[in-house]
Chains A and B, each alone.
Chain A
Amino acid sequence: MDEPLNLVLFSGTDDKLQAAAVLTAGAAALGKPVHLFLQYWALDAFRHDRIDRDHGLAPEAGTEGRERVDHLRAAGQTPWAETMRQAKDLGGVDIQACSLSMDLLAIDQADLDPLVDGVEGVTAFYLNAGAGQVVFI
């Protein structure tokens, strides 16, 4: 279990971020190190003034998917940002912003939620990924 799980988060919709949070929390609970690398619209969703907002769903969700997600939310499903926080509390979860995406959005680390540990380039990401799997979401 020592090889890290490396998740590259690109999409900024709540459904994909929720799925990523579940994968992160599950791995953290097993004691597996998790590295998250935030790019593009996923990074935008981690801005401190936007993280708790509604970020919409992927187009394939459609009207019925929207209803199902709302139903689960109304039933008390833990929001993805809170799931990520609890995963971080377990330890072993490192969240890094992609420096290119920081330039793209014209933001600095002060604009990001404290969940984000730092900013790094893709080379540092691959170095830290070691021999672990890289998953793109």
Chain B
Amino acid sequence: MTLFQIASRVDARGLSCPMPIVKTAQAAKLAAPGDLIEVLATDPGSTKDFVAWCRTTGHELVNQDLDLATGTYCYVIRRK
């Protein structure tokens, strides 16, 4: 298991598309380059969205997990 030093967290649980990405983009604006941002989301579409968003913006998707019991996705993103 890898441990990450998380600089900021986004709780987008219960939010529908596109708010998880919008909230994360807002957090990325405030973060410093290299900062790790952890995002919790329950929108199943967010998996493809976060891959696409990172590919387009240049931020790095360093980890993603799904907690099957709660249906919660956890993404860790390194700000460009």
B14 partner residues in chain A, CB cutoff 8 A:
75-76
Answer yes or no: A106 CB below 8 A from chain B CBs: no
Chain A to chain B: the 3 pairs with minimum beta-carbon distance, closest first: A29-B25, A26-B18, A29-B21
Closest to B21 in A: A29
A28/B25 contact (C-beta < 8 A), A76-B14, A78-B15, A83-B19 known: yes
Question: Would B56 and A1 count as touching, CB distance under 8 A?
Answer: yes
Provide the bound-state CA to CA distance between A54 and B57, in Å: 35
Chain B, 1-38, CB within 8 A of any chain A CB = 14-19, 21-26, 29
* A residues lining the B interface (CB < 8 Å): 1, 22, 25-26, 28-31, 72, 75-78, 83, 86-87, 89-91
Question: Would B29 and A90 count as touching, CB distance under 8 A?
Answer: yes
Question: Would A29 and B16 count as touching, CB distance under 8 A?
Answer: no
B22 partner residues in chain A, CB cutoff 8 A:
25, 28-29, 83, 86-87, 90
Question: Would B29 and A22 count as touching, CB distance under 8 A?
Answer: no
Question: Would B17 and A22 count as touching, CB distance under 8 A?
Answer: yes
Chain B, 46-60, CB within 8 A of any chain A CB = 53, 56-57
